[in-house]
Each structure stands twice: as C-alpha cells, then as structure tokens.
Amino acid sequence: MQTTDAGFDIRIRDALGNERVRGNFRRAMDGLMQRRLDLFPDAEAMESLRQHGMRIKASALSHLPELLEELEAKLIANGIRVHWAETPLEANQIVLDIMQSHGATSMIKGKSMVSEEMGLNHFLEQHGIDVLESDLGEFILQLAGEPPSHIVAPAIHKDRYQIAELFREKFPDIPYSEDIDELTQSARAILRDRFETAEVGLSGVNFAVAETGTLCLVENEGNGRMSTTVPPVHIAVTGIEKVVEKLEQIPPLLTLLTRSATGQPVTTYFNMISSPRKPGEKDGPEEVHLVLLDNGRSGIYSDPELLATLRCIRCGACMNHCPVYTRIGGHAYGTVYPGPIGIIFEPQKGGLDKYGALTTASSLCGACGEVCPVRIPIPSLINRLRYEANHSNGVTPGSGSKHKNSEALLWKAWSLLYRNPLLYRMMTKAATRLRMLAPGKAGPWTRYRTAPKPAARSLHDLARTHGVDNE
Amino acid sequence: MNTAKPKQVYFFGTCLVDLFYPEAGLAGIRLIQREGVDVIFPQGQSCCGQPAWNSGYRNEARDVAAAQLALFTKEIPVVVPSASCAGMMKEHYPALFSGTPLESTAIALSKRVVELTAFLVDVLDIRVEDLGDPQKVAIHSSCSALREIQVGDKIETLVSKLSRVDKVEQAYKRECCGFGGTFSVKQPDISGAMVADKTASIRETGADILVSQDCGCLMNIAGAFDRQGNGPRCMHIAELLWERTHADD
C-alpha cells in the first residue's frame, strides 16, 4: 500500500472517529509500554545499553559499503547466494526468477517488513504464485486483505472479536470461537500442512553479521524457523542497513530489540542461518538466497545527520510510545512503516513530494527519541525534514515540494515583527489595547478550545512599571 | 549548571508570556528578586525563534534569535519561564547558528540559559511559606521539561514545598498535551484528540488547579477546559508560588 500524502487528512479523521480501533491501539500500546518498562528497571543500565546499541549500529554504518562487501564474501563462502536490488521491482523480479528456476509455484512466508516494502505478495500473486503468510498477525491480515498497522505486531488494530468474525467468514467449517488460544490453534492447523508442501520459504532478516556471514532472525511463533528450514529453498530479503560487523555485537542488539519491542528478555526463537543444508545434515533448505534491497537507503547514507535513520532495528518502540500513533493507528499513515520511524524513513525513501505531509504528524514531544534503543534523534530529524520539505536546497528527494508562498510569507512577516523591537512593541500594544476585539474563532485552534485573549498589559509593560532594570 | 547564587540575572520572558501570561512572568521576576537577586529585563526582547524553527523555517528563526543574542551579553544567567523556550536556546541555538559569525555567541548564551523552575530549585533553593487555602493541584510537565532539558522534577519539588497543597496525579501524566506549536494548527484533529484525553485525565483527579512550567501547554489545556466548561484553574507554576507565598500588597 503506497497511498502517499493524498488523503492523509481523511485517513486521520476516519481513524480518530473509529472508537473501537482507537481503543484497541490505546490498550495494546499501554501494554507494550508497561512490558518494556518492566524489563528496563534500572534507568542507568538502560541508558548504557542504548548507548552501546547506538555505537554498534553507527560503527557499522560508518563503513557500510566495505561491510556489505565483507558480508557478501562471507555469505558466498558459506554457500549462500547473494543478490543486490536497487528497487523493489528488481527485488521482486529476483525472487520470482529464483522461484521460476525451480518451477516453484508456492511460497510460505515468515514476517518481513522489507517484503511489504517490495509489495512482494501482490507481485508474486500476479505471476501465479500462491503465497501464504505464516506469522499469525500477517496470516490474519492476509485473510482480511489489509496491510500491517504496526511493524512488530501487524494486526494489533484488531481485537479478538474482530478476528473471530474474520475466521467465521473465511473458515465456515471451523467452530466459532472468540478464545485467543482456540483461534491460534485453528490457524496453526491450517498452516501446518502448508509448511510441508510449500516449495519456497521466505523470511526477513533482523541482523546480518559480516564477520561470519550469518543471518539472524528473531521470532516468537516458530513459523520463522519452519519457513526457513522446511521448504527446499529459503529466500531471505533485507535492507542493506541490517548488516553489523561482528557476531559478538548480536547479544546486546538482540536484548535491546526484544525488550524494546515486546518487553521480552528473549524471544521464543532466535535463528542463526549460516548456510544451506550440508552433506550429511538431516534438515535445512538445499538453497539459501539473500536479497539485499537498497530502495533509497544509499541516498540516506550520504547525509551525516540523516544517516542516523538507518540505525533503526525495527523494534517499534517509537510507535508504541507515540501519542499520535496511539490515536490514529498505523493505517492512517498510508505507508509501509508508520509512526515516528515512518515519518522520517518514508519521505527519505519515497520523496518529500509524496510523503512530506507525514512530517506534520508529530508534536515533537520527544517520546520516540527517549525510547529508541539505538538513540535515533527522531524529533531532530523530523525538524530537519520539515525544513527540507519547505526549502529546495535540501538533500532529500522532493526537497522544497511542500513550499507554499502564503506560508513562507507569513513566516517572513513573523520574522520581521519579532526581530524588530519597535514593530514588536507596536504589535503588542495594539494587541493588548484591542484585546476585547480579539476574534473568538481562530481557525482550527477553536475547534477544540477557546481562543486565547491577549492580556491587558504585556510583560514588557509590567516590567517597566515595576521598575525592573532594562540593562 | 553553575549552582552558585548570582548577584544578577537576565529574564527572558518569552513571547507567549509577554502577550498572554504576563502575570506569570512578573511572578517569576518577583520570586527571583525576593531571594536577593537583581533581575534585568531587556526591553528589546521578543521571542526565542522556536515557532519558526519547529515549523521548518530556520532562516526566519535565526533572524529572530539573532536579535535576542545581542541583548543578553553580560556573563550572567538568562532565566526563562518556559522549558520549551529554554530548550530552544540551550539545545538548538548552537545548531541554528552553526557556521555563522554568531556561532560562538550563540554557544556562549546557550550555556547561560536556565529554565525558571530549575533556577528556583537548584540555584536559589527557595524556601516558601504557604499562605494559601488548602487546594488540590495537578502538575503537567511539558515535553521539553521532561525529555529535552530534563527538568521535569523541579516543578514537582516546588509544588511539594507548598504545605497546604495536595498534589494529585493524573493518568498518562508524561504524555504530550497535544500542543506542539504549529502542530496544533497543522494537525488540529489529532491535537484536539490529545488535549481532550489530557483534560479528561486531569478532571478525574478532582484538581482545583493545574500548573505547568510551559505556557504553550497551558494555553492549550486551559483553552480546552474553557471550551468544555467547569475545568480547574490553569496557571503557571511561578504564579501559583507567588500567589500563595506573598502577603497582599
């Protein structure tokens, strides 16, 4: 789904008006925030771990091209085939080619946000491939024909009653249930056979280790392990920013990820994929492929400030803690990555002309920056992108495309007034004298509030009459 | 921060206080003066530049900020009765003026900026005698106070000093009120939903008074209460302190 800025206002209004979805998000986000907090009881230890995580990712990004070459060499030496894709279309084509070279027509998928970025399911289905999502949340969304609303918990906008209704509609033979365990068991039974028959398994990657050529996959349901080991061919897709230098850097990153994402000390499954099945081994795929997707990332890489965007380990903590995301939910953003990380990542990836309006959807409250496990200064980057959206001298694609003469003129006038003491004094004098004439309606502000009224005397005035020194 | 008590300080009133909450500014000045510290209020001051900075208009913000730089030249603290304005001057002036002839002036000023509640607690360590009636007070710390310059605990300390005040805690206390400067105009419905939740949680505490150290939040929350009717009185912490601790003059 790439619905861009068009309709953002409408999606926001619809989301705000949907009490049920708003309630679902609030409850879910409250739970996730509490769970995270429970696992970071010591603020000092948490800060030192975040600092460590930031350094690991920043260090990897400081020599990304060389590191990617090292990763490729190690993967090839391990027997994993490596493919480079500049665009989602190229990545899709690579996946399709691999499938067709095996005459394969069925795929089972583990959860992968990069595959969402690629629009992979849609592409493969158009080419006659039968694709099945095996992550429970993604499975539900595939049934509903919806995109994820959260990068870690994709179906978080649905409550169990909505899921029960969906199962009744799609699987009329299964007895109706609103019990979470029973619903999960039903999905499990449906998926089980498909793991065994699918010709290709696809997964994402959480960390790719250059030193050893290892692909790390973090999950809770075991579907990731099934998808990557049962089918004869495993294709992993990932963004180029997921590479890290050394294996010893994985434990701190993993613990930051699981605590920040779901408030777990460790996930139920942690997979380290280092090669296809070797002679004499009993299981594992015969072929493993890695598709490395750029999709605008190397452009982000070229700016020293914006580069921090690529440190993201996709934990979703920024959205869990975002008061805007909590109220409008993931779908309102209309992008693959919603929430604060989406606000900074999507416009850089897809252009400010198409996604620049996202930068307005933040009060810059700083909650995202406060919890980010790799200390991405998200509010500062939103501020930077707001500048670039309105000025054509930025580095982001579509820079200057949101420039409006009327708005620019307003800020010019504001600046003139506030930098010139005489003009400023005349303005405050007029405002305080004429305060009773202040309009009762002040545009969108008064939709929810009364308009503020200027005081009878300004502080400048009060300070003077109370004899406060001027210098 | 230098916690030695200075002889003299500058007071940067901020544009919102100047026009909408001047009594809060005056209360801040009087609280400082009462501790034996001289206050200078340069009459040429206006705004720190934050509205333009947060809206992506950096050149306009810089022009306005530059006009302020010229007014606060003495090597004394600059006390600011707003955490977001103090945050702008402390955290963002260096970046705003980076690579310009005013860079070193901006950095020097940023180091002298002190948010009012931090100044009252950490530097002046004010003692107060509470002369007011018993009242329930809820505190809303601004996001800038909590997360940008991390002085959110100071307002708590100050309210705790008022012996006849009952401090009450609202749910989602650390969550943004939805103001966010031009955010409230660019995304009015999201902002409106946030302030509706904020006012609802404050109402549940039965507070008589809501205090904040930031007039942006106050304008937002007070405006929403006013529109809904029958809300608590909203005021700046300096005003509450002054009102409850001085004999009528």
Q: In this predicted structure, what is the pLDDT of residue A443?
A: 83
Q: Residue B66 domain-assigned? A: yes
For residues A170 and B5, give the distance between their C-alpha atoms in angstroms, rounded to a whole number: 72
- Output the pLDDT for position A205: 98
Q: How far is A152 from chain B (nearest CA, A)?
A: 22
Q: How near does any CA of chain B get to the CA of A414, in Å?
A: 8
Say if CB B18 and CB A428 are below 8 A apart: yes
Please report the residues numbered 129 through 148 in chain B whose beta carbons come closer than 8 angstroms to any beta carbon of chain A.
143-144, 146-148
Interface of A with B in 246-275 (CB under 8 A): none
Q: Do B189 and A12 touch (CB under 8 A)?
A: yes
- In the chain, the amino acid numbered A373 is P
**Taking the model in full, what pTM does it have?**
0.97
CA–CA min distance A224, chain B (Å): 36
| Residue ending a domain, choose from B123, B157, B172 | B123
Residues A418, B67: C-beta atoms closer than 8 Å: yes
The predicted structure's pLDDT at residue A441? 79
Residue A315: pLDDT above 90? yes
Residue numbers in A near B185 (CB within 8 A): 443-445
Q: Look at residues B88, B123, B158 and tell me which one is the last residue of a structural domain.
A: B123
Is position B183 within any domain? Answer: yes
Question: Does residue B3 sit within a domain?
Answer: no
CA-CA distance, A296 to A302, in Å (whole number)? 11
Say which of B40, B52, B54 has its CB closest to residue A415: B52
Q: Is the ipTM of this complex over 0.90?
A: yes
Number of domains chain B contains:
2
A327 in contact with B at a CB cutoff of 8 Å?
yes
Structure tokens at B93: 């002036």
The mean predicted confidence, pLDDT, of chain A is: 96
* Nearest CB partner across the interface for B188, out of A388, A390, A444: A444
C-alpha distances out from residue A401 to A349, A391, A408, Å:
15, 8, 13
Q: What's the CA gap between B115 and B80, in Å, rounded?
A: 5
Same domain, B96 and B16: yes
Of A12, A369, A445, the CB nearest to B185: A445
**Boundary of a domain, candidates B123, B154, B176:** B123
Q: Please give the pLDDT value at position A439.
A: 81
Contact between residue A244 and residue A250 where contact means Cβ atoms under 8 Å apart: yes
Q: Are residues B155 and B75 in the same domain?
A: no
Residues in chain A closer than 8 A to B102 (CB atoms) = none
Q: Which B-chain residues 88-117 have CB contacts (< 8 A) with chain A? A: none
Same domain, B115 and B143: no
CA B197 from centre of chain: 22
B195 with A459: Cβ contact below 8 A: no
pLDDT for position A5: 78
A vs B: CB pairs below 8 A: 199
pLDDT score recorded for residue B65: 98
For residue A1, the model assigns a pLDDT of 43
pLDDT at residue A3 is higher than 90 = no
Please indicate, yes or no, if residue B214 is contained in any of the structural domains.
yes
Instruction: Say yes or no: A361 contacts chain B, CB-CB below 8 A.
Output: yes
Q: Pairing state of beta strands B38-40 and A214-219?
A: unpaired
Q: Is residue B27 in a domain? A: yes
Closest CA to B216 of B157, B145, B127: B145
β-strand A214-219 against A200-203: which pairing, if any?
unpaired
Interface subset of B 22-41, CB within 8 angstroms of A = 22-23, 25-26, 29, 38-41
Q: Is A410 on the interface with B (CB under 8 A)?
A: no
CATH at B237: 3.40.50
CA Rg value for chain B: 18
* One domain, residues B113 and B180: no
Is the CB of residue B190 less than 8 Å away from at least one CB of chain A? yes
Please tell me whether residues B103 and B178 are part of one structural domain: no
Spell out the residues 6+ positions from residue B208 whose beta carbon is closer than 8 angstroms to its own. Answer: B135, B136, B137, B232, B233
Of the candidates B20, B29, B179, which has its C-beta nearest A454's C-beta? B20
pLDDT at site A335: 97
Domain-located, residue B130:
no
Confidence (pLDDT) at B158: 98
Is there a domain that residue B2 lies in?
A: no
* Residue of B20, B21, B56 lying closest to A386 (CB–CB): B56
Asked if A364 is an interface residue toward chain B (Cβ–Cβ < 8 A), one would say yes
**Same domain, yes or no: B193 and B143:** yes
Q: Is the pLDDT of residue A4 over 80?
A: no
| pLDDT at residue A440, as a whole number | 80
B112 is a domain residue: yes
Burial bucket for residue A417 (CB in 10 Å: 0-12, 13-18, 19+): middle
Q: Are residues B162 and B102 in the same domain?
A: no
Rounded to an integer, what distance in angstroms lies between the CA atom of residue A347 and that of residue A125?
A: 28
Which chain B residues have a beta carbon less than 8 Å from that of A408?
A: 57
Do B184 and B159 fall within a single domain?
yes
> Is residue B77 domain-shared with residue B100, that is, in the same domain?
yes
Could you list the residue range(s) of the whole structural domain that residue B115 is in? 8-123
Residues B72, B145, single domain; the answer is no
Give pLDDT tens digits along chain B (249 positions): 678 899 999 999 999 999 999 999 999 999 999 999 999 999 999 999 999 999 999 999 999 999 999 999 999 999 999 999 999 999 999 999 999 999 999 999 999 999 999 999 999 999 999 999 999 999 999 999 999 999 999 999 999 999 999 999 999 999 999 999 999 999 999 999 999 999 999 999 999 999 999 999 999 999 999 999 999 999 999 999 999 998 765
CB contact under 8 A, A363 and B143: yes
Chain A interface includes B15 (CB < 8 A): yes
- What is residue B56's three-state secondary structure? coil
CB contact under 8 A, B146 and A366: yes
| Claim to verify: residue B13 and residue B119 sit in the same structural domain | yes
User: What's residue A471's pLDDT?
Assistant: 84
Q: With 50 as the cut, is the pLDDT of residue A64 above it?
A: yes
B179 and B214 housed in the same domain = yes
Kindly tell me if the per-residue pLDDT of A340 is higher than 70: yes
What stretch of H or E contains B233? strand B233-236
List, in order of start, the domains of chain A with CATH numbers.
Answer: 1-39+304-402 (1.10.1060), 66-295 (3.40.50.10420), 405-465 (no CATH)
Q: How far apart, in whole angstroms, are the C-alpha atoms of residue B184 and residue A363?
A: 8
DSSP-assigned letters across all residues of A299-319:
HHHTSTTGGGGGG-----HHH
Q: B51 and A414 in contact by Cβ < 8 A?
A: yes
Q: What is the CA radius of gyration of chain A?
A: 26
